[in-house]
Structures are given as C-alpha cells and as structure tokens.
Structure 1
Amino acid sequence: MGQHHHHTGQKNKKNLIIAMVMIGSWMVIQFIGGLWTGSLALLADAVHMLNDFSNLLISLVAIILAAKAVTRKRTYGNHRYEVLAALFNSVALLVISVFIFREAIVRLMSPQEIIAGGMIFIAFIGLIANIGAMFALMRGDVKDNLNMRGAYLHVLSDTLGSVAAILAGTIIYFTGWYIADPILSIIIAIMIAFTAFSLLKDTVHVLLEGTPKNINLEEVENALMSIEGVINIHDLHVWTITSGINSLTVHLIIEPSYSENHHKILLQANEYIRTKLHIDHSTIQIEKEDLRDYEHQSV
C-alpha cells in the first residue's frame, strides 16, 4: 500500500503541474478580458482561476510534504498535509461562491453594459484551457484522494464559470439582456457552494477520524467473530490517515482452550483485514479474557 500510494502521489504531482501550467497561462488574459468587456462572469472566472492556481500549488506542496519519511515526532508521516490541503480548498471554494454571489447581486441591482462578442471569445478559450486542466487532473486519483478531488473541483467549478460566461455573452449578444450575466453567475456560485460543502464534509470526517465510507463496522465485527476461537471483540476502531491509507485497531477475546493457537487466530484476522478491507496498517491485540471486565472487577 505504501509503494502504491507513493506511485500514485508521483502521478498526481505530475498531473497537478500540467494543470497549473494550463490554468496559470490563461489566468492573466482572462482577467484583462474581463476588464475590457466589463463582464462580471469573466472577472469572477479570472479571480477563480487565480484561486485555482494557488490551490493547485497548495495541493502540489501537500503531495511533496506527504512523501517525506516517518519521523519520531510524526510516526504516521506527513500524509495529513493532503487532508489539510483539501480542507483549505473546500473553505476557499465557499469563500469564492460568496464573493461571486455578492457581486452578482450588485450587478442585478445595477446592470452594466458588456461587450458580448469579446466576452464570448475570451470565455471560449478559457473553457478550452479549463477542460485541458480537468483532463490532466482526471488522470490522477480524483475519486478517492481528497486533495486531488479538491483541486479537481476547483477546476471543474472554473469550467462551469466559463460555460456560464459563454451562455451569458450569447444571450446578451442576441437580446441585449445584460442581466443574464449576474443571473448565470449566481447559478454557478450556488453550484460551487454545494460541491465545496460536500468536500468540506468529507474532509472534516477524516480529520475527526470517522469510519471510512467503504467500511461497514458491523460486517467487520461479524467477520472477526466468525474466526474459530474468538468469543468477543471490543475497541474496534477504523479511521483514515489520508486518502487511500486506512488504519485499524481491535482487541480479540479468545477462548482459553485456544491460547496455544492464538497465532493462527492472529494470522486469520490479519489476512481478512489486509485482503478484504485493504488495510495494511492494523494493530490486533489477542486477549484470553475481556480486560474491561477484569478492570471493572478490580475497581
């Protein structure tokens, strides 16, 4: 699992750099285009691209830091940097959605004239740049890695912003309805907020050491209890260190007659945890009696 995570990390790092080049190369032109055309959708998209670039950089730094070796002070290594990067990205997305929403409300109250043709042209090229960055990130571990997912959601929301700018520009070009710009900006802001909240919820769940979504504790308990010689279990904990790396601890209480075969029980439990749950970081304690009952009796 460690080697696989390292290989995935290198792949994610490469894809992040490609996405950063695409986003950064277009960011300045997008901003200038927004000022030239007077489009809020373009300006919001340009600001968002600046935020995207900085957050992609943060995600890249997190991957680099996470690859550092384990130390005596950090026995789990630096993997949580990736989770912290995802937390930062989710909060940044929420801030962006509020910023766009606020500016859109101002434009609704006082619509401004927009150069629709220039707006469409610039937004279309921006869309191409964003789609290229999205494809670069999709080649990495977007589904299961919170850090990469946060980076991907930033670029995805930016892509939606480009689509909104194109639609708004088209409507304005044919109808002169300038209010289309802030209306579509509000829709995009709401969509960004929803994706950001979902990422924030998943990230906080990891930081609070919640049970991974793909792990059913009841099934784990039943599987461990089905091992011959195990009569009870307690203190079962499963949590996520970082995306793709889970950890498990459990106490197995065995029948006294199986004391000489406790190694066999330990091997079976380890095999289940490693092959079925795909967890390489586990601590299993074998007990001949429930220590909690013993502690209660001794009090």
Structure 2
Amino acid sequence: MSHSHRHSYGHSHTANGKLTLAVFINVLLTIVQIVGGVLSGSLSLIADALHNLSDAGAIVIAIFARKISAKNADENMTFGYQRAEIIGTLINSITLIIVGLYLIYEAISKYFSPTEINGWLVIYIAGIALVIDIVTAVLTYMSGAKDSMNLRAAFIHNVSDALASVAVIVAGILIILYQWYVVDIVATILISIYVLYHGGLLALESIKILMQAVPEACDINEIKADIELNLFISNAYDIHVWQLDEHKFFLECKLELTADTEQVNLAEIKGMLEKKYAIKHSTIEVSPQGTSIEASCY
C-alpha cells in the first residue's frame, strides 16, 4: 500500500514539474508575442499572446487544484477534496469565455480603426509560438489530461493556442501576398469563437457536476427498471444519482419489498449498478411492502 502511495506521489510530483515548465514557457512566449504584436500592429498576435497568458494561468490553477484534490477525507470534508479539480475546471472555462469575448470586442474595435501590419514579423513570432504551443500541449497531456477534466481544460487552452498560432501565420501570409489586413481581424474572431465554444462546454460540464446532476451515462428510469427486475422488489423510488468528480458515481435509493419476502440480496443489486452504470458507491434503504422508510422511523 505504501509502495503504491509513493508511486502515486512520484508521478504527481513529476507531472507538476512538467506543468511548471509549461507555465514558465508560456509566460516568456506571452511577453515576446505582446512586444511583437505592438511592433507589427497585429491584433491577432496580441490576441494569441493573451490566450497564452490565460494558458499559464490555467496550468497554475490546474496544479493548485490537483494538490488540493489529493488531500485525504477528514471530519469536515467526508467526501474528500476531489471536487477542487472541478472548481479549477470551472475557473479555467470562465477565463476562456472572458478572453474570447474580449478578443471579439478588440477585433470589432480594430475593424473601425485599421492599422498597417508587418506580415513578416507576425509570421516569425507566430511560428515560434506554434512550436512552443505544441510543446506545452504535449507536457500538459503527459501530465494526465486524459484522465482529469481539470488538466483537460488546461490542455484545451494549449491546443486552441496552437490552432490560433496557425491562424495568425495564415493571416500573416495573406497580408504579405495581398495586403488583406482585414484577415487579421477575421483570424482574431475565429480564434475567439473557438475559445468560447470550448470554454462553454467545459463550464457546462463542470457546473452539472457541482449541481449534482445525473451523469450522462446514467438514466434514472432505466436504473429503476433494472432494480425492479428483482422479483423481491415491488418498487424502487427516491432514486438519486450524482458525481463526486468526473470518475466517481454515487447512488442512493429506497426499495419496497414484495408482500411475500422480508429481505433482498443487496449485494446483487449493487453489483449490477457497478457493472452496468459504473456506480461503485450506493446507499440503499429497504422496507416491507406498504411501509415507507419514513413511517418505519417512528
């Protein structure tokens, strides 16, 4: 058991080291892009810089939330601290939405006050940014983005930044070839829409968990029907299913038994719930037919 704990701690420590490196790289890149954006007159480059800065913030939040979620349950937090990562996801998704809206505002403002843009400088800096964005995305993914919504939010930040850098490069090429300065504004708006879309999805997903919504993989009516397939159960009611985090599903419900029985094999029902719905933690109350749980308490 202690070996497993040391292994888990070592993995987390290594992952946090990769994430810290990603933060450092993104902060340096943000500075370079802002300077380049001001010198070149490119709004899309500055937009990409702000997105990079939000990437750094997203990773810092992800690290902080991960450390909190690793704490053991105690008397005050009996479910543990796992939802810290969900809160981190919500914060990151909200920053994505704010950045996206701000960039659209800036793009509209620049449309009415156009300026000349240095296409070559835009391409050089966006090219460097693209390489760094890819490296940062890889570091974030290797740190556990596949299994953590919190880190996945930071990873999406990184991926969207890489796509933004590609859009900026394309804008720079079109500016050099055709002097289409409006392309810079179009690229900014496209980046913003992408950011808003993923920010909205992540916000919705995290809010559902925090509001204890029924997980998408579970259907209350279907669960009720499966439980009532048991010949000794006449009614399953007051069924509640929720998520502690993105991996742990919980259920509580009440069962009314048939008239000809006084007990039922709860282990069998719990096994079905775990196998079919991935619900590993279930609390089930049982009462004889015609007797409610509430009535039996008096």
TM-score by length of 2: 0.88
Classify the secondary structure of the residue corresponding to 1:96: helix
Structure 1 position 28 matched with structure 2 position 16: no
Structure 1 position 49 matched with structure 2 position 42: no
Structure 1 position 64 matched with structure 2 position 102: no
Show the 5 A alignment for 1:144-163.
Answer: 145-163=148-166
Structure 1 position 90 matched with structure 2 position 93: yes
Does structure 2 conserve the Cα–Cα contact (< 8 Å) formed by 1:127 and 1:162? yes
Name structure 1 gaps, 5 residues minimum: none
Structure 1 position 172 matched with structure 2 position 175: yes
In structure 1, give the amino acid aligned to 2:245. Answer: T
Classify the secondary structure of the residue corresponding to 1:242: coil
Show the 5 A alignment for 1:128-277.
Answer: 128-139=131-142, 142=145, 145-259=148-262, 261-262=263-264, 265-277=265-277
Which deviations, in whole Å up to 9, do the C-alpha atoms of 1:25-47 show, x marking residues without a partner?
Answer: 42322222222222111111111
> For the structure 1 residues 12 and 203, does the alpha-carbon distance in structure 2 shift closer, same or farther, using more than 3 Å as the test?
farther
Displacement of 1:290 after TM fit?
5.1
Structure 1 position 288 matched with structure 2 position 288: yes
> For the structure 1 residues 245 and 7, does the alpha-carbon distance in structure 2 shift closer, same or farther, using more than 3 Å as the test?
farther
Name structure 2 gaps, 5 residues minimum: none
In structure 2, give the amino acid aligned to 1:212. Answer: P
Displacement of 1:18 after TM fit?
5.0
Task: Give distance in 1, aligned partners of 2:188 and 2:277.
Answer: 43
Matched length: 291
Which deviations, in whole Å up to 9, do the C-alpha atoms of 1:129-185 show, x marking residues without a partner?
Answer: 112222333345545633123212211221222112101111111111212111110
Task: Give distance in 2, aligned partners of 1:61 and 1:153.
Answer: 18
Does structure 1 conserve the Cα–Cα contact (< 8 Å) formed by 2:55 and 2:154? yes
Task: Give distance in 2, aligned partners of 1:43 and 1:140.
Answer: 28
Does structure 1 conserve the Cα–Cα contact (< 8 Å) formed by 2:44 and 2:168? yes
In structure 1, give the amino acid aligned to 2:179. Answer: G
Bigger drift between 226-235 and 9-18 goes to: 9-18
Show the 5 A alignment for 1:10-25.
Answer: 10=12, 13=16, 16-17=19-20, 19-25=22-28
Task: Give distance in 2, aligned partners of 1:276 and 1:144.
Answer: 20
Task: Give distance in 1, aligned partners of 2:110 and 2:273.
Answer: 57
Task: Give distance in 1, aligned partners of 2:185 and 2:111.
Answer: 6
Match of 1:110 in 2: 113
> For the structure 1 residues 238 and 293, does the alpha-carbon distance in structure 2 shift closer, same or farther, using more than 3 Å as the test?
closer
> For the structure 1 residues 14 and 244, does the alpha-carbon distance in structure 2 shift closer, same or farther, using more than 3 Å as the test?
farther
Does structure 1 conserve the Cα–Cα contact (< 8 Å) formed by 2:234 and 2:289? no
In structure 2, give the amino acid aligned to 1:267. Answer: A
> For the structure 1 residues 144 and 174, does the alpha-carbon distance in structure 2 shift closer, same or farther, using more than 3 Å as the test?
same
Bigger drift between 196-205 and 133-142 goes to: 133-142
Q: Between the two proteins, what is the percent identity of the paired residues? A: 28
In structure 1, give the amino acid aligned to 2:282. Answer: S
Displacement of 1:274 after TM fit?
2.1
Displacement of 1:95 after TM fit?
0.6
> For the structure 1 residues 293 and 46, does the alpha-carbon distance in structure 2 shift closer, same or farther, using more than 3 Å as the test?
closer
Does structure 1 conserve the Cα–Cα contact (< 8 Å) formed by 2:285 and 2:293? no
Task: Give distance in 2, aligned partners of 1:142 and 1:290.
Answer: 50
In structure 2, give the amino acid aligned to 1:229. Answer: F
Classify the secondary structure of the residue corresponding to 1:106: helix
Classify the secondary structure of the residue corresponding to 1:280: strand
CA RMSD of aligned residues (A): 2.6
Task: Give distance in 1, aligned partners of 2:138 and 2:196.
Answer: 22
- Deviating above 6 A after TM superposition, structure 1's stretches of 4 or more consecutive aligned residues are none
